[in-house]
Every structure is written in C-alpha cells, then in structure tokens.
Amino acid sequence: MAKIHEVAEAAGVSISTVSYALSGKRSISPATRERVERAAARLGYEPNAGARMLAGRRTHIFALTEPFRADTHAPTHMSFVLATSIAARRYDYDILLLTDAEASAGMRRVSASGLVDGILVLDVAPQDDRVALSRAIDVPTVFIGVPDDAEGLVCVDLDFEAAAGLAVDRLAEAGHRRIGFIGHPETAYVRSNFPPRVRRGVEDAARRRGVTLATAFPGEGDERRRDIGEAVRRMIAEGVTALALHCDDAAHAAVLAELTAAGLAVPAQMSVVSIGSSFDTSSFSTPLDRIPLEPDTSCELAVELASRLADGEHVEPGVRLTAPHYQAFGSVSPPR
C-alpha cells in the first residue's frame, strides 16, 4: 500500500498538504485537492483508520459481536458470521469480529474507539446486556435476533413462529393428529432468543389445528443421547405419528437411529420435519423435510440496514422478520 509521502511526491505537494486535502481539516484550493485525490487514487492510498476517524469520515468497518462460549454450537454460529461477512463485502465493508464471552465488553470498546461505522449483534439472548448498551452509544446497531425488549431497536431475524407453524400445518394437513416436538435442552430457552419462539409457534399451531402435542427437551452432554432415546420411545408408545425437530444435527441423527431401532420407517410409519436447521437435512440416511434457517437472508438485510444507518439515513426501528419456506425431501406422508 502506498505511503503518504509517495502521494505527496506524485502530486508535487508537501506531506502536510496531502493530509489537509484528504482530511478536510484546512482549506485547500480545489485544483490542489483534485491533484492530491487523483494521486491517492492512482497509488491506492488510504488514510489510516485513526485519520479517517479524526476527519469524521467512514471507516468502512462493521463490528460483529458474536460471543464464543463453551456451549456455542460452532457450525450454526459460524454460518451467520460467514453470511454477514459476505454481505458486508457487497457493501464495501470489512468485519471486525468481537468474540468476548462477555459480549458487551467488546461492544463498549469499539464504540469508544470510533473504529467502526456500525455494530451487528449476533447470538442475541432474551435478556441481553447489549440492548441497553446499544441505546447508550452513538454507533448505529442492528440486532440479528430479537431480544425480549426490542423497543426502539432495529432487529432482523427469521420468523421462527411462522416456521414452526408451517411445520405443524404440513403435518396436520397430511392427517397427523398426534405430533411430537423434540427441542433443545431447557437451558437454551433461557439463554437464546429463538428456541422459545419456535416452541411457542409449535404450541400455538397445535392448538389452532386441534392436534395433540407431546414435547421433549433432551439434556446436555452425556445425558442427551439417552434422553433422546427415551423421548422417542415414549412418543411412539403414546401413538405419535409425526415428529417436528428443532435441535442440532447430532440430535437429528440420534432420532433417526431410534426410529430405525424401533422398526419404524420414515415416512411410512413416522413422518419427520426439521425446523430452523442450518445444516443439510437431505444428507441424513433418510432425507428430511425442513424449514431452513437461511442466515444469508437475514444477514443480508441486517447489513443493508446498518449501511443505511452509517450513511446517516433514517431507518425506522422495529423487528423485521424474513418469511420461512418449506423444502420437501419426502419425509412426510399420511399416517398409517
């Protein structure tokens, strides 16, 4: 990358004149400013971030706050990091990834430094410390997720309630009257914003459709595989003919293994739908219908809104939900 003295030499001016011309801190004749800007563009010179901040100009950097914790499901979370980074490049932005387990610490740090034009918030908790912080800082902030208190915030996410309802509707329309729901461990319904919305959507749709719902929330660690087996066997005994799954890929595989062990074929004897999966459900031993998470859609919208805010445009606060869609792989059929 070119240095400031090379720009000065190419434009035939002093280093201080280059600095003044590019920062706007002092009055420079239009002809000189144009000559400096042409030389800077030809050489690919960019003032450093500090200079841009002093000049009040955009840094073309967004901070992405994604706390990495011991229980972080890396494949899902990294799919959002990747989708956000790709979307940011389309808007000529780089991403500064903040991974502090204490998420608000990194957010405070970059907001105080002036290094970024905006902040994108991932892994949103129902009661998230970053909500109050976003209201206290001047840096535009967009949440990819919906906290319980979203008043005055700009939030983007998949419509998880609608996704859950779509799964139940598809099973009910196929004729299933007893549906099982296997979700995340109970702790996920406290620390994450989307599992409660899926759970609520499944329960609401089951009531609306008049179907009987059996639920299970297998534990974590070594207990999880055992809990899944017990849940599947219990649901079979209760006459469940269809399952809606909102859990990780390992849990999906465990459910399919239990059905095979019980001698139940999918979909002939048990229909299965996956809700909000970020992984490819068509690659399982039995391909599964799904309503995918699709991080690309919500991250693209979040970056667009952050870019508009960075440009000084007014963006109406509120929750913007992307519509779910159903992908069929042949795992649903009428009950026997």
Whether residue 308 is predicted with pLDDT greater than 50 in this model: the reply is yes
With bands split at pLDDT 50, 70 and 90, how would you rate the model's confidence at 97? very high
CATH superfamily of this structure's domain 61-157+295-320: Response regulator (3.40.50.2300)
Whether residue 55 is predicted with pLDDT greater than 50 in this model: the reply is no
Structure tokens at 252: 């999906």
Whether residue 51 is predicted with pLDDT greater than 80 in this model: the reply is no
What's the whole-number average pLDDT of the chain?
90
**Domain positions in the chain:** 4-54, 61-157+295-320, 160-292
* Residue 270, CA distances (Å) to 120, 181, 335 in order: 41, 13, 7
Using an 8 Å Cβ cutoff, are 160 and 197 in contact? yes
The CATH class of 160-292 is alpha beta
Average pLDDT on 233-237 reads 98
With bands split at pLDDT 50, 70 and 90, how would you rate the model's confidence at 238? very high
CATH superfamily of this structure's domain 4-54: lambda repressor-like DNA-binding domains (1.10.260.40)
With bands split at pLDDT 50, 70 and 90, how would you rate the model's confidence at 1? low
Query: What are the beta bridge partners of residue 32?
Result: none
Out of 69-83, 132-146, 157-171, 240-254, which region has the weakest mean confidence (pLDDT)?
69-83
Whether residue 49 is predicted with pLDDT greater than 60 in this model: the reply is no
pLDDT value of position 142? 98
Average pLDDT on 321-326 reads 97
Q: Do the domains at 61-157+295-320 and 160-292 have one common CATH topology?
A: yes
Average pLDDT on 92-103 reads 87
Q: What percent of the chain has pLDDT over 90?
A: 67
Distance, in Å, from the CA atom of 218 to the CA atom of 230, rounded to the nearest integer, reads 9
Average pLDDT on 18-38 reads 77
In sequence order, what are the residues at sequence separation of 6 or more whose Cβ sits closer than 8 angstroms to the Cβ of residue 164? 197, 198, 199, 200, 201, 202, 204, 205, 244, 246, 275
With bands split at pLDDT 50, 70 and 90, how would you rate the model's confidence at 54? very low
Whether residue 150 is predicted with pLDDT greater than 90 in this model: the reply is yes
pLDDT value of position 16? 66
Q: Model pTM?
A: 0.79
Average pLDDT on 78-89 reads 93
Burial class (CB in 10 A: 0-12, 13-18, 19+), 264: middle
Out of 99-113, 244-258, 267-281, 321-335, which region has the weakest mean confidence (pLDDT)?
99-113
Q: Give me the helices (H) in the chain, please.
A: 4-11, 15-23, 30-43, 49-54, 74-90, 103-113, 129-136, 160-173, 188-191, 194-209, 222-237, 249-261, 295-310
pLDDT value of position 21? 78
